[in-house]
Amino acid sequence: MDTLLPVASGADAGALTADELRELYSLMVAVRHLDTSAIAWQRQGIIPGYAPELGQEAAQVGSGYAVDTTRDFVFPTYREMGVARTMGVDMVAYMSTHKATWHGGLYNPMESRLAPIQAVVAGSVLHAVGWAHGQTLDGKDGVALTYFGDGASSQGDVHEAMNFAAVMKAPVVFFIQNNGWAISVPTERQVAGGSVAARAAGYGIPALHIDGDDVAAVVEATRRAFAHARAGNGPVVIEAMTYRRGPHSTSDDPGRYRSLDEERDGAGIDPLERLRQRLLADGIADEAFFAEALAAAKAEEEQIRTGVQALGSRPGTEMFDLVFQETTPALQAQAANWREESEHV
């Protein structure tokens, strides 16, 4: 499915260069290694929980690679670590949320152009549309990129967001990572018609249904969508077909709802290996390059883990200080009770 008309996009047009493909591979290796390491951190008690993205690296790195951090803004869910890493977000600050040190991450959203991590299912889409509409009102050319999954697409928030964005021609790209599973429910049992992208036609929004395991295809599609939205043509829906190779979260047991054979059959070719084979076939990378990329990823993970372990607890008073601009009697009473119970004052 491709209902997006061509848009003259200048520098965004054209095939990826050899340097860009090598950079994408290095990013995917860094994301893969940090992702699998974060699961080990949870098992070791370094963080209490984590939402893995094994198998979705191409969708995340490819889409994040298309973002212009000087003017665009990204609205993630709780599973977009790969997007954050691609955008250059401080990963210790990002991973602080998984340590439950701080809600939404310790990084600066305005500087990084990545909104706070959103744990509410489909909650990020409404924020993205609001920001994008603000760009239109202010006469600016920033584009919002918002993520959600096939499961979240069944939330009413998504209908409201797409309808408002289409009516107002808000410059927003709705990026769906269809990883085959809404926690334990397969896509075919919870997405009527089998495609989220097909729903875009009901809102008059152009859509792209792409191979989410092909990082080059993801970059191209996202750049096209950005060019369309930036030109004042309104929103675009991208559905990237991929596969969640691991559990929904570190508290999930995928063995309760799918077998290992089903997982292997559904996963297809590893997106990282797929890009590796392309680089070899095109003669733009060799084994020395791959070894260097892996070594850099391991060194980076060590630095991030050390930083995460060094994070201290946030002051408990922040639970009450940062709720309302002007406090309320009820909140003051709760704060007083908390201080009495925890600090004995």
Residues tagged active-site:
244, 248, 257
Among 197, 275, 210, CA closest to 241: 210
Asked if 279 and 25 count as a contact pair (C-beta separation under 8 A), the reply is yes
Asked if 293 and 301 count as a contact pair (C-beta separation under 8 A), the reply is no
What is d(CA 181, CA 188) in angstroms, rounded to the nearest whole number? 9
Q: Please state the φ and ψ torsions of residue 147, each to the nearest 5 degrees.
A: -110, 145
What is d(CA 24, CA 16) in angstroms, rounded to the nearest whole number? 10
Among 240, 244, 164, 157, CA closest to 204: 164
Please report, for residues 64, 100, 173, the alpha-carbon distance to residue 54 in angstroms, rounded to integers and kept in the order given: 16, 22, 23
Question: Which amino acid type is present at position 306?
Answer: T
Question: Which amino acid type is present at position 216?
Answer: A
